[in-house]
Chains A and B, each alone.
Chain A
């Protein structure tokens, strides 16, 4: 009852706005998408509403009835989850890709010359944070890379698992671990002293960010064209994302 009364009072404020696009995106995309939103609003006067969260959380919100126009997921598993739940969408393709890195804030001599194996064996690296492969896609890629490098025997004792890749990075920054396997883009905001090494892309499956389109009307199509333009690409690349 109270809700009905309230809704009728607030009706004029709740009327659906036309000039807007609701975008769900993985938190890791916050910085580049915010920049894109601002530019797009200036140019086209269309309001991009950004909702950030963990990709899997967003996917289950969608399966429970949330209705974004577009969803950019970090990794393919939330997309597969939605397919299993029979969520209907118009189209999907890969928008971006990311890279796996190994980083440490410990001072290690000749970081650049040494291989990852040698660094991990060093006595300064006692604990290494990774994202839990059962909970986060980053963890799956990390485990693939570790297996393919054939270093699991001596790395196993040093590993601590975090619930997602961002927490793994925070572990290292709080001194709970000495090194971390994470995405290249996880370090954008950190000015602290740390060294990083890219892990050869042959060692793990390609890390791809699918974009899923639910609403195929003109406004959305126009925004998708912009997302794929060089201008938007340059912004994504500035923050460490690459082409798919």
Chain B
């Protein structure tokens, strides 16, 4: 019995790792491509940033979304039989991995998040009927899929407008950029620290739980980082009166910061797609009686997911970054900065709320936001249609795959 269990756990772990690898190879690389395309960072730097920061994001903030996937879509108490549940999670992970692989091969702009949610619903309906699906949560998640690109769009629009109003419109754009740019980076740091304190054990470990203290600490860190980045930009001088090129150069440096932010929040949100089902299977196999949805996800599982994503970014992601980065060279650094900020803030917020969203779609939303702010010469909105089709396609298809795999597994085992 024990040997079988170990084998099953090993298999599920490997599957989760494969899914994580897939996310790192494609999705993380996809979001890092903005910075690569705007030439803020080289491919090598992008791979390193993606590897390290997605790992950190996954381990530090990844637990919320993982818990949603683990126990909030399919209500485990309604199914009861832990053997059936375990098969179900394995079937979901198999179906999602298969679907993601197929979609990547066929170049469909689907999201790993959508496929895992679809897969969970598919097995849930077969195993326990539609009563065992947490429709309320599912509706919330569905709404977040529509809202996250819109939110990313609005944020990127606002950041770009701020850049235009406070930098480009000023008499000396370069001098203004040296103040405004670092200030936005400071805000970024502030946001990350707040989310670390409010959503992880960091606060408990350090013994800081009061809201006002968290506020003060994050504000101080933000100001410190603002100063540090302002100092690092001090030496760059504008060459002429309307020197937009030097402004872009300044933002090239600042975009290194925002691309770290992107990688971090990406890890925080997407690690769940790979690790959520694994965590569920682990909880089912170790828990004595039934399933405790509230049981915390063990950090080593998040680390495993983070490692998988990092490995994906390192082994395969450079290909994606190079190709996509080469296609979007018309993106300049101020635009890339706005896109990064809008998308990453949205994704981090969703992670804190425990909502699994699609990072790639949020990035597209942010790009459209900059376009609406008259920041891009031309963007093709046909991509919106493609994304909507992929929403409508992914969830039912992943559900059907997972249902079939589940039925087959139940017959065999």
Interaction A to B: no
Show the binding face of B for A, using Cβ within 8 Å. none
Give the interface of A toward B (CB within 8 A): none
